[in-house]
Structure 1
């Protein structure tokens, strides 16, 4: 019986050798040599997600710093795809933590743009409508939604803060967001 496996490329072996060498010696020049091969990939991922050249360049440098620790913490079978996922996750976290409350529009918050006072740009009126609708959520939904969107916590942080399971947190956020949308639609019809 013959088993088919993905062919091993020469650079895969070289990546593995450099990775093992860095793990053994912690020589940053070795890690730098490995990372240098994939800097264009990391930069491209940064541009794709962050949509800004300077932020993408910053991501390339920050991800290298992260690598110095993460390569010791993870079992890496193939460096290139692993680095891609690490880069993507880094960029997504940058987007998430980079959003400040004042730059997140209420439309983005509930992902339903026609709902919020389509005839006015009165931010104060929209904020009051949102606050009224937040008060109509169940306590668990309100707490989860506020922590997730307004305090910019990740699911795990919300779970830690509330004592809810991850699935409960996701459910409370999803249902709370849906209920906010419904409430805001009703308010805009008045």
Structure 2
């Protein structure tokens, strides 16, 4: 039976010890006439093919340096990304924001300011919850927001069941209106 050593093509270190034990035990045992003696078969070593030498003087093709490469280059002329080098990235200033707006002291919503911000790409959340006991003021604010959204061509979306938390997406902001699932409730359902 093959051993683990033979599987990997290595000489079996226990084979030498077993062979010595058999040699010491053979004189003690006399082979009988009925037993057959098995002659060990000589192991033939396969001849290894000579490795093909690589051609001398032929260099592998070089990679071209990408256009606009500013980084270091190896001695072979290949671009090299030095991960240990400290480079400060240019700070990116955001061009959009999420704005939270609530009615002011006089219970008004600044629709002109909202229009300007929405046209710049900002998303606006209008909170009408401070007007809890003033249904008339809430309706006036909703009407003003609806008029403003019609003027600039953007929809107004309710974020709660009472229509007191409204979302006005900014310019070039995509809103999914197919699923209508808000919050973590859709994720928690089994």
> Normalised by the size of structure 2, how large is the TM-score?
0.25
Q: Which has the higher contact order (CA 8 A, sep 6+)?
A: 1
Q: Would you tell me which structure has more helix in proportion to its own residues?
A: 1
Give the TM-score taking structure 1 as reference length.
0.25
